[in-house]
A and B are shown apart, each in its own frame.
Chain A
Amino acid sequence: MTIESIRNSLYLLLSVSVIHPLSSTPKGDSLMSPRDVYVLGGNRIPFVRSGGKYLKASNQDMLTTAIDGLVSRYGLAGERLGEVAAGAVLKHSRDFNLTRESVLGSHLSPTTPAYDVQQACGTGLEAAILVANKIALGQIDSAIAGGTDTTSDAPLAINDGLRRTLMKANYAKTPQQRISAVLKIRPAQLAPEQPTNGEPRTGLSMGEHQAITTKEWGITREAQDELTALSHQNLAAAYDRGFFDDLITPYLGVTKDNNLRPDSTVEKLAKLKPVFGKGEGATMTAGNSTPLTDGASAVLLGTKEWADEHKITPLARFVDGETAAVDYVTGNEGLLMAPPYAIARLLQRNNLTLQDFDFYEIHEAFASTVLCHLAAMESAEFCKEKLGLEAPLGSIDRSKLNVNGSSLAAGHPFAATGGRIIASAAKQLHEKGSGRALISICAAGGLGVVAILEAA
């Protein structure tokens, strides 16, 4: 062995021990390039029309059950996940830590952190975007996003007058002051404050808002009823072929969404009287609008590595998400018209066209909402003036829309809808083995949340 070769060996040894530590991330600098995030699975309880079988179920119960169904499906009992983010739109004040309490009641490790998200009907999808971003950044490797809602167990608050009187009595310093405060209670103050689904700034209900938009876009009754019948038929067919066998866990003896009418037809729907809008032009009925519904859903997301470690096959990649808001208060835009804005921005950012998708999952708040979105995206005028686009987004292949049914058939427990759609879309992509899905959910307050999934 020559001196040269000994020197070379020494150099190699040194370089391995010296250079290697330098090549790793410097202390305190945790920045890393974004990682791919995957939808690994989903679970929900059957959705049930309010005032029915889930009358006694609480949001916490339902969310816990949805999470536990996911845990058992993927054998995650005792597992610590990165976090659980979920929420409810209608929430009791005692549920200030709803998601954390649900985690504690579930079979996940009690060391799994959790927080509540609340963004009206966008809650579930927004929660997924939030946890997906954290996973992409490397802050966590796995998470559950979800949502729950019940209008059967809606919080009834005491009315403002009574609350003020009682607070005054509470802060009273002398018994006399207290008695005089309490004596000011009037019978009218005993009526509870009921939650409404009306917009605080306009006083109009969501249906009334949508009726205005429906008229503006000239959406016909027939088109709405057709979309509705198809939603029921598609959901029924999905049940029949076992599509939901690994997406739903029965709850309180309910095994299927009970709003589903498998034998729904345009003819039957045509017999219903309009409930939103006034006079001749009213087209929105109880059939082509979603009913108040109770339910909960949960979606499991994670990195490929985490999925491999837990022997879970990813269903779809969670590509990107975008939220838009419109000024509906002044009447410049319809309350539920934010999704086209969000879609336009999301497509541009991802260098995609509206036609680059194999599945479109557009939440059916009302049949006419979906039809308004489609009409708007086809309109050159709307796309130019409102979205600032040279050319319209264009039309979609309607056979790719809500192929396994959507909210008109399944029902719409506000915060739970996002989870339902993400899981279904991800499974559709997994079954197909390729392609992309566009998810779009409109929400109160002029909000719209959209996301792109891609086959894993």
Chain B
Amino acid sequence: MADTYSNLVNKNPLGKKVASQFGLPKPALLRRYKEGQQLLEGPAAVAGIGSAPVAASASAIVKASGGEVVDATPETSYDARLAAIVFDATQARTLDQLDELRQVVAPALKKTGSSARLVVIGTTPSELSDPEAAATQQALEGITRSIGKEMLRGGTANLLWVDEKAQGDSAVLAAPLRFLLSSRSAYVSGQPIRVRDADVPDVDDWHSPLAGETAVITGAARGIGAEIAKVFARAGANLILVDIPASGEALSKVANSLGATALQLDVTAADAGERIAEAVARKSDKLDVMVHNAGITRDKLFVNTDENRWGSVLDVNLRAQFRINKVLLDKGVKGGLADGGRIIGVASISGIGGNRGQSNYAASKAGVIGMVRQLSQTLADRNITVNAVAPGFIETEMTAKIPFATREVGRRLNSLLQGGQPVDVGEAIAFFAEPGSAGVTGQVLRVCGQSQLGA
């Protein structure tokens, strides 16, 4: 869906002039992933606090992905515009040490180019027993979130909290760090992601991470679901795309354009789980990724929401997932989810911050978050990760129908001054799906351009 204002101030000569003379906000054109694209378009400045044990891993990951690394100090003068800054603050234990971050990152930020990335790496605060150490690590969130709001030209700032046990393992860091550095995280800013200790497979193909894997995506006929499917197909996955029979025409087109299989199925059907498993068993030995994307809205003020509006939204957006998961997680079911697999849900910033007229929808989306946090613990021993994305304002057919004024507010009220694209949600989901993301579980990642709604 088109963002007319953004096009005007970015592409139209007169629009550009008017915008700059009157100081109008100018949403940047975000760098987005294309097949075979370089990880970074310029050098990455890497630095850290103390022994900075993770900085070395970070440098190695950037270099392995074809990127150039500059060791940053407060005195470094940068020849080229920086594409990224990676700062290892895992060893920060005192508030004084935070000043080291300020001294190195501030001058580097001044030299960043467009769609630049700041990734701060810390230690998970809840793992630290010393109050000042925990406070210091928590402070990193305040710093990154604030810098996210100050970033210019489509830049983002995010935080990786790495568990102490995982800090020695560069393999577990690679996928999350690369996601945040790459253009795949174009619309993710101001977000912390926790990385745990996990077994990450040796094969590390970041261009087709899902090669040979089988994934099911529900609600795939249009909008965000169709875009998730495209990203998964690009990443090499075998796809089974699900949508209600009434959307079969659109579903068939998406499936055929990606060489995928279409499964016309209402996810609320009593046997939906069995039918998904059957479809998987027909195509593959096992299911690797289950993406619960199907969702509906039936908006009404809470006081006017009837039983049907209430029930149908909860049924499609949440209850169906429980029924389907139950079948897919049964080890005896052919076509069920394999150990080491992935369950990925779609929450919403409405589920985090609530939304007028969406009590039913927000209930279902907050419920997704609750499910993700709990189920991730239950399934940890099977190495199945459970995560969700929480999209903010995404340019879809659905949001195009919002009245103009409301739409403009929703669209601009974020650090990137624009709505996200459906592909941004797809990229985040594909990140969770990657074998390299084994250390990321129980997380809800906002894909919202650091929206102020629900923040």
Contacts and interface: CB of A to CB of B under 8 A. Distances in A.
Nearest to B262: A72
B236 interface: no
B261 A255 contact: no
B276 interface: no
A251 B262 contact: no
A250 B257 CA distance: 17
Interface in A399-455: none
Interface in B226-285: 245-249, 251-253, 255-266, 269, 282-283
A69 B259 CA distance: 12
B320 to A, nearest CB: 15
Interface string A232-262: 0000000000101110111111010000000
Contacts of B266: 242
Given A75-B283, A311-B282, A312-B282, A249 B259 contact: no
A53 interface: no
Contact of B249 (A65, A245, A246): A65
Contact of A69 (B247, B248, B263, B265): B248
A256 to B, nearest CB: 9
Contacts of B262: 69, 72-73
A391 interface: no
A248 B251 contact: no
A69 B252 CA distance: 6
Interface string A303-342: 0000000011100000000000000000000000000000
A298 interface: no
B246 A311 contact: no
A34 interface: no
A52 to B, nearest CB: 17
Contact of A75 (B245, B257, B260): B260
B256 A72 contact: yes
A251 B245 CA distance: 11
A252 B246 CA distance: 11
Contacts of B265: 245
A341 to B, nearest CB: 39
Contact of B246 (A68, A78, A246, A255): A255
A115 interface: no
A68 B282 contact: no
Contacts of B261: 72-75
A73 B246 CA distance: 15
A311 B260 CA distance: 13
A43 to B, nearest CB: 9
A454 B283 CA distance: 25
A246 B246 CA distance: 11
Given A78-B259, A245-B265, A72 B251 contact: yes
Nearest to A246: B264
Contacts of B256: 68, 71-72, 77, 107
A249 B282 contact: no
A242 B269 contact: yes
Nearest to A253: B249
A72 B283 CA distance: 13
Contacts of A244: 245
Chain A contact patch, size range: 20 to 34
A248 B259 contact: no
B245 A250 contact: yes
A72 B252 contact: yes
Contacts of B253: 68, 72
Of B245, B251, B265, B266, most buried by chain A (CB within 10 Å of CB) is B245
> Chain B interface mostly helix, strand, loop or mixed?
helix
B248 A311 contact: no
A245 B252 contact: no
A245 B245 contact: yes
A206 to B, nearest CB: 32
A313 B248 CA distance: 21
Nearest to B283: A311
A24 B283 CA distance: 33
B248 A250 contact: yes
B260 A249 contact: no
A253 B250 CA distance: 10
B249 A251 contact: yes
Contacts of B252: 65, 68-69, 71-73, 249
A251 B282 CA distance: 26
B117 to A, nearest CB: 36
Nearest to B258: A77
Contacts of A242: 245, 266, 269
B245 A313 contact: no
B255 to A, nearest CB: 4
Contacts of A78: 259
Interface in B355-414: none
Contacts of A255: 245-246, 248
Contact of A77 (B247, B249, B259, B282): B259
A249 B256 CA distance: 13
A312 B283 CA distance: 8
A409 B296 CA distance: 32
Nearest to B256: A107
Nearest to B284: A311
Contact of A250 (B246, B260, B269, B282): B246
A75 B259 contact: yes
A180 B267 CA distance: 71
A72 B249 contact: no
Contacts of A249: 248-249, 252, 264
B215 to A, nearest CB: 13
A71 B251 CA distance: 12
Nearest to A71: B256
B245 A248 contact: yes
Nearest to B261: A75
Contacts of A107: 256-257
Contacts of A312: 282
Contacts of A245: 245, 264-265
A313 B247 contact: no
A74 B262 CA distance: 7
Contacts of A72: 251-253, 255-256, 260-262
B10 to A, nearest CB: 36
A321 to B, nearest CB: 28
A250 B282 CA distance: 24
A74 B279 CA distance: 10
A71 B257 CA distance: 11
B233 to A, nearest CB: 11
A248 B245 CA distance: 8
B189 to A, nearest CB: 37
B283 A250 contact: no
A250 B259 contact: no
Nearest to B264: A245
Nearest to A69: B252
B213 to A, nearest CB: 15
Contacts of A74: 261
A311 B249 CA distance: 23
A78 B260 CA distance: 11
A332 B251 CA distance: 51
Interface string B415-453: 000000000000000000000000000000000000000
Contacts of A65: 249, 252
A108 B257 CA distance: 11
30 contacts: A68-B252, A69-B262, A71-B252, A71-B256, A72-B260, A73-B252, A73-B262, A73-B263, A74-B261, A75-B255, A77-B255, A77-B257, A78-B259, A107-B256, A107-B257, A242-B266, A244-B245, A245-B245, A246-B263, A248-B245, A248-B248, A249-B248, A249-B249, A249-B252, A250-B246, A251-B249, A252-B249, A253-B249, A311-B282, A311-B283
Q: Which 10 A-B residue pairings sit nearest by Cβ, starting from the closest?
A: A75-B261, A72-B255, A72-B262, A107-B256, A72-B252, A77-B259, A249-B248, A255-B246, A250-B249, A250-B248
Given A73-B264, A242-B269, 7 more contacts: A72-B251, A73-B263, A75-B255, A252-B249, A253-B249, A255-B248, A313-B282
